[in-house]
């Protein structure tokens, strides 16, 4: 493949790109090029689950994007980390395996008119991607590339959190990714035998010997090459050389919710006025490219812990060294988990048909950057709205691909989002006040006892709210004027070009985005190859019959 001619070119080796590279190259007569902007995933901090805060906070494996000043967050410039490494964000995330709610996908089908994206049609692809360590069933796979395990929850704080939720009147669920998302229970994670199971590990490592698949790392894509409105190749830089690769069949963009709209805009596909501003020839005027940006914002509710059972000792240098040595030698100990082992999905009020608040519980009081506000033992719940109504955008600031785009989320831009966050704080306090925490609960660290009124909670969120790092929906699927791709992920008005990643979600799902993005890769691979879709699975799912009159 030294002639730089391929059947398919894939841009981005993230959660979807790795899947598609695997599935398309399974036909050994098909030549596939996969171009990744970042390096190989060779780092102990990537593969050790407990060390995920390190790649989240460096620039070796991370684009480390920053937002514009957020107008409803006191003008804060906020972090937007994105994976720039083999495996993409699946190599730097918190490894939570969360599919979202079944009704999210039924909503996709209703919103777009593409009923093949409803839950019954996507469930087979979730299953085909997965090997669940606890075993396959009607909702889970047993022979897919992605290894999924359930956190053991051995720390007593995990049990206290689940028990407190039940005491507060919420249901218990044994499987948040199965029949019933709503309730308190254990979380699944992309960890197997003590190691992160990224998309690269699941989908690329097993096929390293395929001669028909070329993987280029440290290759920065600069533009898609067009002949008229047909995508015919990709220009990228690698090792100080500018390279043009040709695609006889398709170019597939899998850069994620920030990089995919950026590359389309750099290539002349997007809002014509924006493109002309940067002297980029317009290939297709698609004003929706980069619009409809959505994310999950969350806050921490943190307490001191009155018993020495939290992970606080793990913040001490000598303990970190011990954890690292134990993990490297035996793949055992605290290093083997991201420690997001218990969580919950609840409804914030009556009238909400399925959960709109998500919890990640952590048996330590610490932020994503690894810093702790508590000089001792603590615990916390990350909580935030699942289906925000605020919308933002991604727009290029230059025709130079090395210039980061302008990113604006408009977090907390609607009263509905602000009310859900107020509800989140108050409901969390009620949960932590249950008797299950009586012997463990010390003073509240954050937001703190002084934060009680609506205005005080709003002010706390503006100053302390953080992204859950789930940007999405910037190249949304649909048929309305803002839609960028159709129901087969083809860019509207363009031939031989698709986008497959979290950017094509019509609306954000109720949970973390790694598992849904892998599902998108699996389903779109069949669409690209022209395979018959996997048969739909009409399994029962939990619905609250009287949700209009009760919150729990």
Tokens standing for residue 152: 């053991």
DSSP 351-373: T-SS--EEEEEESS---TTS--S
Inter-axis angle of helices 156-167 and 415-432, nearest 10: 110
CA distances 90 to 95, 177, 547, Å, are 7, 18, 35
Tokens standing for residue 148: 């999924």
Tokens standing for residue 177: 């990714």
Q: Are strands 269-270 and 241-253 parallel, antiparallel or unpaired?
A: unpaired
CA atoms of 200 and 198, how far apart (whole Å): 5
Residue 470: active-site member: yes
Q: Which of 140, 354, 360, 470 is catalytic?
A: 470
Q: What is the DSSP letter of 202?
A: I
Q: What is the DSSP letter of 460?
A: H
CA atoms of 315 and 440, how far apart (whole Å): 20
Tokens standing for residue 343: 């969580």
Tokens standing for residue 96: 């939570």
Tokens standing for residue 437: 């925490």
What distance, in Å, lies between the first and last C-alpha atoms of the chain? 59
DSSP lists the bridge partners of residue 183 as 345
CA atoms of 525 and 165, how far apart (whole Å): 40
Q: Which residue has the tokens 């709109």?
A: 356
Contacts of 117-121 with CB under 8 Å at 24 or more apart are 117/477, 117/487, 119/541, 120/536, 120/537, 120/538, 120/539, 121/523, 121/533, 121/536
DSSP 472-504: B-TT-BSSSTT--B-TTSBBTT-BSEEE-SGGG
Catalytic residues: 470
């Amino acid at each position: 493949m030294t002639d730089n001619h391929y059947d398919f070119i894939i841009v981005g080796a993230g959660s979807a790109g790795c899947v598609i590279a695997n599935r398309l190259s399974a036909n050994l007569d098909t030549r596939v090029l996969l171009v990744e902007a970042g390096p190989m995933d060779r780092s102990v901090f990537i593969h050790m689950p407990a060390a995920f805060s390190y790649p989240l906070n460096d620039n070796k494996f991370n684009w480390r994007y920053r937002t514009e000043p957020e107008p409803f967050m006191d003008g804060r410039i906020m972090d937007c980390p994105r994976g720039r490494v083999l495996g993409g964000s699946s190599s730097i995330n918190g490894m939570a395996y969360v599919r979202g709610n079944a009704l999210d996908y039924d909503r996709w089908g209703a919103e777009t008119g593409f009923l093949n994206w409803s839950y019954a049609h996507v469930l087979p692809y979730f299953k085909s991607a997965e090997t669940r360590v606890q075993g396959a069933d009607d909702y889970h796979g047993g022979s897919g590339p992605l290894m999924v395990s359930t956190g053991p929850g051995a720390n007593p704080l995990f049990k206290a959190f689940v028990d407190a939720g039940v005491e507060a009147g919420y249901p218990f669920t044994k499987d948040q990714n199965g029949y019933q998302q709503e309730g308190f229970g254990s979380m699944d994670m992309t960890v197997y035998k003590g190691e992160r199971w990224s998309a690269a590990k699941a989908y690329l490592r097993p096929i390293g010997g395929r001669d028909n698949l070329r993987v280029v790392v440290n290759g920065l894509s600069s533009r898609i090459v067009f002949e008229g409105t047909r995508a015919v190749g990709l220009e990228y830089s690698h090792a100080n050389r500018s390279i043009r690769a040709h695609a006889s069949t398709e170019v597939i963009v899998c850069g994620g919710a920030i990089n995919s709209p950026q590359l389309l805009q750099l290539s002349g596909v997007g809002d014509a006025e924006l493109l002309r501003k940067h002297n980029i020839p317009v290939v297709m005027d698609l004003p929706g490219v980069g619009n409809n940006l959505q994310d999950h914002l969350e806050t921490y509710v943190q307490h001191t812990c009155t018993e020495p059972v939290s992970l606080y000792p793990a913040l001490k240098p000598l303990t970190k060294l011990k954890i690292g040595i134990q993990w490297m030698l035996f793949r055992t100990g605290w290093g083997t988990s991201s420690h997001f082992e218990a969580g919950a999905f609840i409804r914030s009020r009556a009238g909400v048909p399925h959960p709109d608040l998500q919890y990640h519980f952590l048996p330590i009081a610490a932020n994503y950057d690894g810093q702790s506000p508590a000089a001792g033992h603590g615990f916390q719940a990350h909580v935030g709205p699942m289906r925000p109504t605020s919308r933002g955008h991604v727009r290029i600031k230059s025709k130079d691909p090395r210039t980061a785009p302008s990113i604006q989320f408009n977090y907390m831009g609607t009263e509905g989002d602000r009310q859900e966050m107020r509800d989140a704080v108050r409901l969390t306090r009620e949960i932590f006040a249950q008797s299950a925490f009586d012997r463990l609960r010390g003073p509240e660290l954050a937001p703190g006892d002084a934060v009680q009124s609506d205005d005080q909670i709003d002010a706390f969120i503006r100053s302390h709210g953080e992204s859950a790092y789930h940007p999405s929906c910037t190249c949304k699927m649909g048929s309305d004027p803002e839609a960028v791709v159709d129901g087969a992920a083809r860019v509207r008005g363009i031939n031989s070009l698709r986008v497959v990643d979290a950017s094509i979600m019509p609306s954000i799902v109720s949970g973390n985005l790694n598992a849904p993005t892998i599902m998108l890769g699996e389903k779109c691979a069949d669409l690209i190859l022209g395979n018959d879709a996997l048969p739909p699975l009409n399994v029962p799912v939990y619905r609250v019959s009287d949700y209009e009159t009760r919150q729990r």
